[in-house]
Amino acid sequence: MCAMDTADRPDAAADRGPCAAIPADQMDFVRQILDRVGDKWSMLVISALEARPLRYTELQRDAPGISQRMLTLTARQLQQDGLVTRTAYAEVPPRVEYALTPLGRSLHHVVTSLITWVVDHHGQIREHRSSSTTTS
Amino acid sequence: MCAMDTADRPDAAADRGPCAAIPADQMDFVRQILDRVGDKWSMLVISALEARPLRYTELQRDAPGISQRMLTLTARQLQQDGLVTRTAYAEVPPRVEYALTPLGRSLHHVVTSLITWVVDHHGQIREHRSSSTTTS
DNA sequence: CTGGATCCCGCCGGATACTG
DNA sequence: CAGTATCCGGCGGGATCCAG
Protein backbone atom coordinates (compact mmCIF):
# COMPACT_ATOMS: atom_id res chain seq x y z
CA MET A 1 0.00 0.00 0.00
CA CYS A 2 0.94 3.61 0.31
CA ALA A 3 1.16 4.39 -3.35
CA MET A 4 4.76 4.78 -4.29
CA ASP A 5 4.74 5.98 -7.84
CA THR A 6 5.64 9.65 -7.41
CA ALA A 7 8.71 8.96 -9.49
CA ASP A 8 7.19 10.82 -12.40
CA ARG A 9 5.64 13.44 -10.16
CA PRO A 10 8.53 15.18 -8.42
CA ASP A 11 6.15 17.79 -7.06
CA ALA A 12 3.90 15.20 -5.48
CA ALA A 13 6.18 14.29 -2.62
CA ALA A 14 4.14 16.48 -0.31
CA ASP A 15 0.92 14.64 -1.12
CA ARG A 16 2.04 11.25 0.05
CA GLY A 17 1.09 11.71 3.65
CA PRO A 18 2.30 9.50 6.50
CA CYS A 19 2.99 6.67 4.10
CA ALA A 20 6.21 8.35 3.22
CA ALA A 21 7.51 6.98 6.52
CA ILE A 22 7.50 3.47 5.08
CA PRO A 23 10.59 2.75 3.01
CA ALA A 24 9.75 1.35 -0.38
CA ASP A 25 11.96 -1.66 0.20
CA GLN A 26 9.82 -2.72 3.12
CA MET A 27 6.60 -2.37 1.19
CA ASP A 28 6.53 -5.87 -0.24
CA PHE A 29 7.38 -7.24 3.15
CA VAL A 30 4.56 -5.33 4.81
CA ARG A 31 2.21 -6.78 2.24
CA GLN A 32 3.39 -10.29 3.02
CA ILE A 33 2.58 -9.86 6.67
CA LEU A 34 -0.69 -8.16 5.85
CA ASP A 35 -1.61 -11.13 3.70
CA ARG A 36 -0.80 -13.42 6.56
CA VAL A 37 -2.98 -11.40 8.89
CA GLY A 38 -5.80 -11.44 6.38
CA ASP A 39 -5.36 -15.17 5.95
CA LYS A 40 -8.25 -17.07 7.43
CA TRP A 41 -6.26 -19.99 8.80
CA SER A 42 -3.27 -18.09 10.18
CA MET A 43 -5.34 -15.98 12.50
CA LEU A 44 -7.53 -18.93 13.40
CA VAL A 45 -4.51 -20.92 14.48
CA ILE A 46 -2.93 -18.05 16.37
CA SER A 47 -6.17 -17.39 18.19
CA ALA A 48 -6.49 -21.05 19.06
CA LEU A 49 -2.97 -21.06 20.49
CA GLU A 50 -3.50 -17.91 22.50
CA ALA A 51 -4.91 -19.68 25.52
CA ARG A 52 -2.34 -22.45 25.72
CA PRO A 53 -0.05 -24.68 23.64
CA LEU A 54 -1.87 -27.25 21.55
CA ARG A 55 -1.12 -30.49 19.76
CA TYR A 56 -1.77 -31.11 16.10
CA THR A 57 -5.10 -32.78 16.61
CA GLU A 58 -6.17 -30.22 19.14
CA LEU A 59 -5.47 -27.49 16.62
CA GLN A 60 -7.61 -29.29 14.11
CA ARG A 61 -10.41 -29.32 16.63
CA ASP A 62 -9.98 -25.70 17.68
CA ALA A 63 -9.70 -24.36 14.14
CA PRO A 64 -13.13 -25.24 12.78
CA GLY A 65 -13.09 -26.36 9.18
CA ILE A 66 -9.34 -26.40 8.64
CA SER A 67 -8.00 -29.23 6.53
CA GLN A 68 -4.89 -31.24 7.32
CA ARG A 69 -3.14 -29.69 4.38
CA MET A 70 -3.88 -26.14 5.43
CA LEU A 71 -3.12 -26.78 9.08
CA THR A 72 0.29 -28.18 8.21
CA LEU A 73 1.03 -25.41 5.73
CA THR A 74 -0.15 -22.66 8.02
CA ALA A 75 1.74 -24.03 11.00
CA ARG A 76 4.91 -24.22 8.95
CA GLN A 77 4.52 -20.65 7.79
CA LEU A 78 3.89 -19.32 11.26
CA GLN A 79 6.83 -21.29 12.57
CA GLN A 80 9.14 -19.93 9.91
CA ASP A 81 8.02 -16.42 10.73
CA GLY A 82 8.81 -17.04 14.39
CA LEU A 83 5.22 -16.58 15.45
CA VAL A 84 4.79 -20.08 16.82
CA THR A 85 7.11 -22.83 17.99
CA ARG A 86 6.88 -26.47 17.02
CA THR A 87 8.18 -28.99 19.51
CA ALA A 88 8.24 -32.68 18.58
CA TYR A 89 8.66 -35.29 21.31
CA ALA A 90 10.21 -38.57 20.12
CA GLU A 91 7.75 -40.76 21.96
CA VAL A 92 5.94 -43.97 21.17
CA PRO A 93 2.79 -42.16 20.21
CA PRO A 94 4.30 -39.17 18.44
CA ARG A 95 3.46 -35.89 20.11
CA VAL A 96 3.96 -32.41 18.73
CA GLU A 97 3.14 -29.23 20.54
CA TYR A 98 2.58 -25.87 18.97
CA ALA A 99 2.86 -22.73 21.06
CA LEU A 100 2.76 -18.99 20.53
CA THR A 101 6.01 -17.10 20.76
CA PRO A 102 6.09 -13.66 22.39
CA LEU A 103 6.26 -12.27 18.86
CA GLY A 104 3.16 -14.20 17.86
CA ARG A 105 1.36 -13.05 20.96
CA SER A 106 2.21 -9.43 20.28
CA LEU A 107 0.94 -9.77 16.72
CA HIS A 108 -2.27 -11.23 18.02
CA HIS A 109 -2.70 -8.24 20.28
CA VAL A 110 -2.37 -5.84 17.38
CA VAL A 111 -4.79 -7.82 15.30
CA THR A 112 -7.18 -7.92 18.22
CA SER A 113 -7.25 -4.14 18.26
CA LEU A 114 -8.11 -4.23 14.59
CA ILE A 115 -10.90 -6.68 15.30
CA THR A 116 -12.13 -4.33 17.98
CA TRP A 117 -12.40 -1.63 15.34
CA VAL A 118 -14.39 -3.93 13.11
CA VAL A 119 -16.76 -4.86 15.92
CA ASP A 120 -17.18 -1.19 16.75
CA HIS A 121 -17.93 -0.14 13.20
CA HIS A 122 -19.59 -3.17 11.70
CA GLY A 123 -22.91 -1.42 12.19
CA GLN A 124 -21.93 1.49 9.96
CA ILE A 125 -20.56 -0.85 7.33
CA ARG A 126 -23.67 -2.99 7.30
CA GLU A 127 -25.69 0.19 6.92
CA HIS A 128 -23.72 1.31 3.89
CA ARG A 129 -23.93 -2.14 2.37
CA SER A 130 -27.70 -2.30 2.47
CA SER A 131 -28.23 1.27 1.30
CA SER A 132 -25.58 1.30 -1.42
CA THR A 133 -26.28 4.88 -2.43
CA THR A 134 -25.20 5.06 -6.06
CA THR A 135 -24.30 8.74 -6.24
CA SER A 136 -24.16 9.02 -10.01
CA MET B 1 -10.36 -16.62 14.07
CA CYS B 2 -10.93 -17.14 17.72
CA ALA B 3 -11.71 -20.80 17.60
CA MET B 4 -15.35 -21.27 18.34
CA ASP B 5 -15.84 -24.98 18.56
CA THR B 6 -16.12 -25.48 22.30
CA ALA B 7 -19.58 -26.85 21.68
CA ASP B 8 -18.36 -30.38 22.30
CA ARG B 9 -16.04 -29.25 25.08
CA PRO B 10 -18.27 -27.75 27.73
CA ASP B 11 -15.31 -27.50 30.08
CA ALA B 12 -13.24 -25.52 27.62
CA ALA B 13 -15.10 -22.25 28.02
CA ALA B 14 -12.38 -20.98 30.32
CA ASP B 15 -9.65 -21.60 27.75
CA ARG B 16 -11.03 -19.32 25.09
CA GLY B 17 -9.34 -16.19 26.31
CA PRO B 18 -10.25 -12.66 25.15
CA CYS B 19 -11.82 -14.03 21.99
CA ALA B 20 -14.89 -14.85 24.04
CA ALA B 21 -15.66 -11.14 23.78
CA ILE B 22 -16.45 -11.55 20.11
CA PRO B 23 -19.96 -12.83 19.52
CA ALA B 24 -20.04 -15.83 17.24
CA ASP B 25 -22.54 -14.14 14.94
CA GLN B 26 -20.02 -11.40 14.17
CA MET B 27 -17.21 -13.82 13.41
CA ASP B 28 -17.92 -14.23 9.72
CA PHE B 29 -18.28 -10.50 9.41
CA VAL B 30 -14.98 -9.87 11.13
CA ARG B 31 -13.37 -12.24 8.69
CA GLN B 32 -14.85 -10.39 5.75
CA ILE B 33 -13.33 -7.12 6.92
CA LEU B 34 -10.06 -8.82 7.75
CA ASP B 35 -9.98 -10.21 4.23
CA ARG B 36 -10.55 -6.74 2.89
CA VAL B 37 -7.75 -5.39 5.01
CA GLY B 38 -5.47 -8.16 3.91
CA ASP B 39 -6.45 -7.54 0.32
CA LYS B 40 -3.60 -6.07 -1.65
CA TRP B 41 -5.64 -3.69 -3.76
CA SER B 42 -8.04 -2.44 -1.09
CA MET B 43 -5.30 -1.11 1.13
CA LEU B 44 -3.38 0.21 -1.83
CA VAL B 45 -6.38 2.23 -2.95
CA ILE B 46 -7.20 3.48 0.53
CA SER B 47 -3.63 4.55 1.05
CA ALA B 48 -3.59 6.32 -2.27
CA LEU B 49 -6.73 8.21 -1.34
CA GLU B 50 -5.46 9.20 2.06
CA ALA B 51 -3.74 12.34 0.87
CA ARG B 52 -6.55 13.67 -1.32
CA PRO B 53 -9.43 12.61 -3.58
CA LEU B 54 -8.35 11.05 -6.83
CA ARG B 55 -9.82 10.32 -10.24
CA TYR B 56 -9.96 6.91 -11.83
CA THR B 57 -6.83 7.34 -13.88
CA GLU B 58 -4.97 8.89 -10.97
CA LEU B 59 -5.81 5.88 -8.86
CA GLN B 60 -4.42 3.64 -11.56
CA ARG B 61 -1.21 5.61 -11.42
CA ASP B 62 -0.98 5.69 -7.65
CA ALA B 63 -1.79 2.02 -7.18
CA PRO B 64 1.19 0.45 -8.92
CA GLY B 65 0.31 -2.67 -10.85
CA ILE B 66 -3.45 -2.61 -10.41
CA SER B 67 -5.50 -3.65 -13.42
CA GLN B 68 -8.62 -1.87 -14.63
CA ARG B 69 -10.72 -4.80 -13.56
CA MET B 70 -9.36 -4.86 -10.03
CA LEU B 71 -9.48 -1.11 -9.64
CA THR B 72 -13.13 -1.01 -10.60
CA LEU B 73 -14.00 -4.01 -8.45
CA THR B 74 -12.06 -2.77 -5.45
CA ALA B 75 -13.49 0.72 -5.70
CA ARG B 76 -17.01 -0.68 -5.85
CA GLN B 77 -16.39 -2.85 -2.79
CA LEU B 78 -14.96 0.01 -0.77
CA GLN B 79 -17.83 2.22 -1.84
CA GLN B 80 -20.42 -0.33 -0.79
CA ASP B 81 -18.73 -0.65 2.56
CA GLY B 82 -18.89 3.08 2.99
CA LEU B 83 -15.13 3.45 3.07
CA VAL B 84 -14.87 5.62 -0.02
CA THR B 85 -17.25 7.83 -1.97
CA ARG B 86 -17.65 7.83 -5.72
CA THR B 87 -18.76 11.07 -7.33
CA ALA B 88 -19.43 11.14 -11.06
CA TYR B 89 -19.63 14.47 -12.87
CA ALA B 90 -21.75 14.43 -16.03
CA GLU B 91 -19.27 16.35 -18.12
CA VAL B 92 -18.07 16.15 -21.68
CA PRO B 93 -14.95 14.28 -20.67
CA PRO B 94 -16.40 12.05 -17.96
CA ARG B 95 -14.84 12.71 -14.58
CA VAL B 96 -15.17 10.56 -11.49
CA GLU B 97 -13.65 11.35 -8.14
CA TYR B 98 -13.01 8.88 -5.39
CA ALA B 99 -12.52 10.09 -1.84
CA LEU B 100 -12.07 8.55 1.59
CA THR B 101 -14.97 8.76 4.00
CA PRO B 102 -14.32 9.40 7.70
CA LEU B 103 -14.97 5.70 8.20
CA GLY B 104 -12.41 4.80 5.60
CA ARG B 105 -9.93 7.18 7.12
CA SER B 106 -10.41 5.69 10.56
CA LEU B 107 -9.89 2.19 9.16
CA HIS B 108 -6.70 3.36 7.54
CA HIS B 109 -5.48 4.64 10.87
CA VAL B 110 -6.03 1.28 12.50
CA VAL B 111 -4.32 -0.50 9.67
CA THR B 112 -1.47 1.95 9.87
CA SER B 113 -0.88 0.94 13.47
CA LEU B 114 -0.70 -2.66 12.29
CA ILE B 115 1.78 -1.66 9.62
CA THR B 116 3.80 0.09 12.28
CA TRP B 117 3.97 -3.20 14.16
CA VAL B 118 5.19 -4.95 11.04
CA VAL B 119 7.86 -2.36 10.41
CA ASP B 120 8.94 -2.61 14.03
CA HIS B 121 9.20 -6.39 14.01
CA HIS B 122 10.13 -7.21 10.44
CA GLY B 123 13.68 -7.63 11.62
CA GLN B 124 12.76 -10.43 14.00
CA ILE B 125 10.63 -12.11 11.38
CA ARG B 126 13.35 -11.95 8.75
CA GLU B 127 15.72 -13.44 11.30
CA HIS B 128 13.46 -16.39 11.96
CA ARG B 129 12.87 -16.90 8.26
CA SER B 130 16.51 -17.23 7.42
CA SER B 131 17.39 -19.42 10.42
CA SER B 132 14.34 -21.66 10.26
CA THR B 133 15.42 -23.70 13.28
CA THR B 134 13.74 -27.05 12.78
CA THR B 135 13.42 -28.11 16.39
CA SER B 136 12.71 -31.77 15.75
C1' DC C 1 -11.95 9.15 -19.59
C1' DT C 2 -14.32 5.60 -17.08
C1' DG C 3 -15.47 1.70 -16.99
C1' DG C 4 -18.29 -3.10 -18.58
C1' DA C 5 -17.84 -7.89 -20.75
C1' DT C 6 -15.08 -11.98 -21.84
C1' DC C 7 -11.56 -15.18 -22.12
C1' DC C 8 -8.39 -17.83 -19.78
C1' DC C 9 -4.80 -19.45 -16.89
C1' DG C 10 -2.43 -20.09 -12.43
C1' DC C 11 -2.75 -21.48 -7.78
C1' DC C 12 -5.25 -21.91 -3.54
C1' DG C 13 -7.12 -25.07 -1.02
C1' DG C 14 -10.47 -29.29 -0.16
C1' DA C 15 -10.76 -34.42 -0.45
C1' DT C 16 -8.63 -38.58 -0.40
C1' DA C 17 -5.09 -42.03 0.23
C1' DC C 18 -0.67 -43.40 2.08
C1' DT C 19 3.55 -43.44 5.71
C1' DG C 20 6.76 -43.28 10.02
C1' DC D 1 -0.70 -39.39 16.16
C1' DA D 2 1.24 -36.34 12.88
C1' DG D 3 1.92 -35.53 9.02
C1' DT D 4 3.17 -36.20 3.34
C1' DA D 5 1.73 -36.93 -1.55
C1' DT D 6 -1.46 -36.49 -5.22
C1' DC D 7 -5.30 -35.15 -7.76
C1' DC D 8 -8.36 -31.61 -9.23
C1' DG D 9 -12.17 -28.21 -9.23
C1' DG D 10 -13.18 -23.25 -8.35
C1' DC D 11 -12.12 -18.66 -8.79
C1' DG D 12 -9.15 -14.70 -8.32
C1' DG D 13 -7.35 -11.79 -11.18
C1' DG D 14 -4.54 -10.27 -15.56
C1' DA D 15 -5.16 -9.20 -20.58
C1' DT D 16 -7.83 -7.72 -24.04
C1' DC D 17 -11.58 -5.74 -26.53
C1' DC D 18 -15.62 -2.87 -26.53
C1' DA D 19 -18.98 0.97 -25.03
C1' DG D 20 -21.08 5.45 -23.14
Query: What tens digit of pLDDT does each residue of B97-119 get?
Result: 999 999 999 999 998 998 899 88
Q: State the pLDDT at residue A33.
A: 84
Q: From the CA of B70, how many Å to the C1' of D13?
A: 7
Backbone phi and psi for residue B66, each to the nearest 5 degrees, phi listed first: -75, 140
Q: From the CA of A96, how many Å to the C1' of D1?
A: 9
- Show the low-confidence residues of chain B (pLDDT under 50): 5-18, 134-136
Of the candidates B85, B60, B122, B119, the residue with the CA atom closest to the CA atom of residue A82: B122
Q: Collapsing DSSP states into helix, strand and coil, what is residue A54?
A: strand
Pick out the nucleotide with least CA–C1' distance to A86: D2
Q: Please give the residue of chain B at the shortest CA–CA distance from A19.
A: B47
CATH 1.10.10.10 fits A23-135, yes or no: yes
Name the pairing type of β-strands A95-100 and B84-89.
unpaired
Please report how the helices B102-130 and A102-130 are oriented relative to each other, as an axis angle in degrees rounded to 10. 150
Q: From the CA of A69, how many Å to the C1' of D4?
A: 9
Q: State the pLDDT at residue B105.
A: 95
- Characterise A6 by phi-psi region: left (phi > 0), alpha (psi -120 to 50), beta (else): left
CB–CB of A19/B46 below 8 Å? no
**How far, in Å, CA of A83 to CA of A47, rounded?**
12
Residue A50 touches partner B, C-beta closer than 8 Å:
yes
Domain ranges of chain A: 23-135
Averaged over A18-37, what is the pLDDT? 72
Q: What is the pLDDT of residues A9-22, one digit of tens each?
A: 444 444 444 455 56
Residue B95 touches partner A, C-beta closer than 8 Å:
no
Residue B15 touches partner A, C-beta closer than 8 Å:
yes
